[in-house]
């Protein structure tokens, strides 16, 4: 009896899991205009570029890397939401489209979020251990955002 119930339960779970796979979110990367990226539009340094690339790229650019497990529901639903929310708030591939005052605010937020430990999202770290930022990384990033904000607010520079 118990064995039969377990068998039916297992079949139901498998059917639900397979059924979920029919609902595929679009895990897409919109095209990138290299002239509009944060790297092109700022005085990017190699250190900051590498911090942004290893720690923020997957959620805040149009160059997300989608490993195999991101294709499987329900993980795919969850991640597609993260990336679309992340890009909506801050898209470093479309940096040039932001007016200067918004760039200034985003730069400030980038430093704040990283210093508060809010970014990168903690749920990202187990699968991406190299995204974790050291105190030194945070200092480098904030030093750079400060310098960029100075530059934005000093038109002649
Ligand atoms: C796993 C995905 C993920 C990673 C990695 C990530 N972010 Fe985010 N980020 C988000 C999401 C999602 C939001 C939308 C707001 C929220 O849900 O917290 C966001 C929001 C933001 C915002 C906007 C906050 C606001 O108040 O508008 C900034 C700035 C930001 N992230 C900076 C960064 C920086 C800098 C890094 C790298 C050091 C980073 N994020 C890494 C997912 C991510």
Measured CA to CA in angstroms, residue 136 lies from 48, 55, 106 at distances of 11, 14, 21
> With bands split at pLDDT 50, 70 and 90, how would you rate the model's confidence at 108?
very high
> With bands split at pLDDT 50, 70 and 90, how would you rate the model's confidence at 128?
very high
Q: Residue 58 in contact with residue 124, Cβ under 8 Å?
A: yes
User: Which residue has a Cα nearest atom 23 of ligand 1?
Assistant: 89
Q: How far is the CA of 86 from the centre of ligand 1 (A)?
A: 5
Q: How far is the CA of 119 from the centre of ligand 1 (A)?
A: 5
pLDDT on residue 119: 97
Q: Which two tokens stand for residue 59?
A: 């959620």
Q: How far is the CA of 61 from the centre of ligand 1 (A)?
A: 11
The preferred substitution site among 42, 56, 80, 144 for testing ligand 1, maximizing ligand atoms within 8 Å of CB, is 56
């Amino acid at each position: 009896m118990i064995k039969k119930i377990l068998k039916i339960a297992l079949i139901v779970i498998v059917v639900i899991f397979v059924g979920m796979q029919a609902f595929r979110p679009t895990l897409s990367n919109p095209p990138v205009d290299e002239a509009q990226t944060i790297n092109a539009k700022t005085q990017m340094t190699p250190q900051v570029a590498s911090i942004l690339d290893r720690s923020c790229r997957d959620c805040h650019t149009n160059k997300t890397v989608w490993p195999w497990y991101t294709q499987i529901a329900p993980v795919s639903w969850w991640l597609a939401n993260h990336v679309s929310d992340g890009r909506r708030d801050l898209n470093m591939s479309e940096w040039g489209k932001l007016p200067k005052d918004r760039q200034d605010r985003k730069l400030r937020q980038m430093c704040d979020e990283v210093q508060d430990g809010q970014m990168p999202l903690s749920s990202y770290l187990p699968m991406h251990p190299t995204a974790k930022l050291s105190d030194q990384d945070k200092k480098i990033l904030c030093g750079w955002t400060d310098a960029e904000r100075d530059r934005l607010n000093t038109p002649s520079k």
